[in-house]
Amino acid sequence: MGAATQAGQNATATLPTAWSGRLGLSIFRPPSTSRESVEEARRTEVPERVALAAWAIAGCLRHPAVSRLVAGSKSVPRVVDHALMTGAKLDRSPGRPLRTAAIAGLTFTVLYLVHRILQSTGPDSSAPAAVAAYNLAHRSILLASEVAVGLALLAFIPFLAALVPIIWRAGQETLAVAVAISGGVFVAMGFVSNAAETALIGVADSNQPAAVLALDQLQGRTPVVWTITALVAVLSLAIQRTGLVGRWLGVVGLVAAAIFLLGSIFSVLGRSPEGNSSLLGVGLFIGWMLLLSAGLWRTAANSTSSPS
């Protein structure tokens, strides 16, 4: 046991690694045994709230040639840390979840853009007769737009599933949970709005103005924009804290979230659920998601092409 302890201490002291994107993606480079290099690594490479020993173990286990590691421990918390790190199935291809998030994010964005293009600007007024006439005249196109947005929401699920663990492993557990919750609520509210609008198309020719008015108000006032506000805000904070993509995109996202918040408030106070200003918000959200997807793909490419 003493030899194992000494070996673990030596492994911790002699394993500086190259830090890639502050996402916990470590690769080997020739070891240095100086205490100064270890302290420099602690300051510049190890993410917040991650123990240096756990970081060193994770770096060892991510190497393709390493399948087992015996680390010495002098305290119960260290034993727990080592058990967690050695028992976990660490991703040996760290770029894979980033690529998954990038592809899923791009798929969502393209399908959502198709949905908005097919919907066009909508009826000239919110009067039940005008809404019913518009839905009857554009029935096939509107149904296609609802299929597109349904597929977009399905694509958003793997986007979240790939991104949340990355944020968690970067030491931002609270933000990871916030992204998961806000993203999940966004998907749920999107499907509620999708169901209401599909039902509205179905009753457009039923000569029931009350039903048309109720469904039009429901699909327009479903708080999708509120959930987009929360989602963009927490994703932007995660970008700022982890360096997941360029931090400037986090700043842009926070500004966009503030604009979405104002739009959400005006949608509650206004007489009609949507206005021309909503098109600006849609364009801003689509543009931000495109930039985020491109940034995730670039981070994945950089982590994959890092020398080992």
Give me the pLDDT at residue 10, please.
Answer: 43
Beta bridge partners of 25: 20
**How many of the other CB atoms lie within 10 Å of CB of 38?**
18
Which contacts qualify for 33-39: CB closer than 8 Å, 24 or more apart? 38/13
Q: 74 phi and psi, to 5 degrees?
A: -115, -5
Q: 298 phi and psi, to 5 degrees?
A: -65, -40
Q: Name the residue ranges covered by the structural domains of the chain.
A: 2-87, 95-304
**What are the 10-residue block averages of pLDDT along the chain, 308 residues in total?**
40 38 40 61 65 68 64 53 48 72 96 91 81 88 94 97 91 93 96 91 86 83 88 95 90 93 77 61 92 92 59
DSSP state of 126: -
DSSP state of 46: S
CA pair distance 193, 47, nearest whole angstrom: 40
CA pair distance 221, 218, nearest whole angstrom: 5
Contact present, 189 and 223 (Cβ < 8 Å) = yes
Give me the pLDDT at residue 5, please.
Answer: 39
Give me the pLDDT at residue 234, please.
Answer: 96
Give me the pLDDT at residue 128, please.
Answer: 84
Phi/psi zone of residue 108: left (φ > 0), alpha (ψ -120 to 50 degrees), beta? alpha
Give me the pLDDT at residue 3, please.
Answer: 39
CA pair distance 274, 221, nearest whole angstrom: 8
CA pair distance 15, 19, nearest whole angstrom: 12
